[in-house]
Amino acid sequence: MTSTDPTTALDLELAAAGLDPRAVSAAVAAAVAEDLPGEDVTSAATLDPARTAWADLVARADGVVAGLAVAELVFRAVVGPDVEVRRSAADGDRVVRGDVLLSVHGAVPALLTAERTALNFLCHLSGVATATSRWVDALAGTGARVRDTRKTTPGFRALEKYAVRCGGGLNHRATLSDQALVKDNHVLAAGGVVPAYRAVRARYPGLPVQVEVTTLDQLRELLDAGAPEILLDNMSTAQMAEAVRVTAGRARLEASGGLTLERAREVASTGVDLIAVGAITHSAPVLDVAMDLRPGGTGREPAS
């Protein structure tokens, strides 16, 4: 295998994007197997197996693209080594309805077999990127940045967090081991925000730690204890503004809890540094993308 091999190039691209190529390939293989436990009976019955054609993946709505390499992996897995793929866009690009994102050439039955799996990845990840970009746009010109959460589809966290980056957002921790996040139940069990914070700091002195607060009194306690990052949970706009005033730059503040895009600039105006939005991963609508087979005789003659 040479450095110009398409699969090697895709592995390098995925690694450069912060993804594990083996994990992505495994996800693609599992998705293909889910859709294809046997034969694609419709394509087998209706299509000439020798016929080849080009097909275009076309945006049906405006948005931000993510997942082109994953879609390409699907086509390469299903169509095989003779497939030809040409991209007309890159992950992170803003596209409009009618834009061609990717074109693929190969045996028509195999193209149609791969179609839905490729689109499932591309539409979902582009949907996450697009949802994120709307928050980025809403916060433009403020000092606040949108950040994701661990509210992700099981098994797809790395891909969804990658899509958040494509949309211009920031990632919070990827796993429970990356960073400590002390939430209300931890606080209750530990006997308060400061004991919980100090317990984490004592056991993991070099690990980033964030503590959730619901009151300004808890905030003041943590500031006195030297906590560097504090999550303001379900606070009103007035409370957040007061929290920023009290903090006076001594800690990084993140707003969280039921925040909507309509309130984005209102929340940012309080002076918080980050806005946590679980909806950009757990509730992002897909970006509508379709595969259009280019015109030409692709069918199989009915049996006599």
Could you give the 3-state DSSP secondary structure of residue 212? strand
Q: How far apart are CA 291 and CA 235, in angstroms?
A: 45
Whether the CB-CB separation of 86 and 54 falls below 8 Å is answered with no
- Can 212 be counted among the known catalytic residues? yes
Sequence-ordered list of residues with C-beta below 8 angstroms from that of 67, at least 6 positions apart, any chain: 91, 121, 122, 124, 125, 126, 159, 163
Task: Name the active-site residue from 22, 116, 245, 294.
Answer: 116
- Can 183 be counted among the known catalytic residues? yes
Task: Name the active-site residue from 51, 145, 151, 263.
Answer: 151
Task: Name the active-site residue from 99, 160, 233, 254.
Answer: 233
Block residue for tokens 């945006």: 59
Whether the CB-CB separation of 216 and 246 falls below 8 Å is answered with yes
Interior CA angle at 220 toward 219 and 221, to 5°?
A: 90
- Can 151 be counted among the known catalytic residues? yes
Neighbours of 284 (CB within 10 A): 22
Give the HSE-up count for residue 193: Cα atoms under 13 Å, Cβ half-sphere: 25
Task: Name the active-site residue from 99, 212, 254, 273.
Answer: 212
* Cα distances (angstroms) measured from residue 117 to each of 73, 137, 150: 10, 30, 24
- Can 233 be counted among the known catalytic residues? yes
Task: Name the active-site residue from 183, 245, 266, 292.
Answer: 183
Give residue 303's identity as a one-letter amino acid code. A
Enzyme catalytic residues:
116, 151, 183, 212, 233
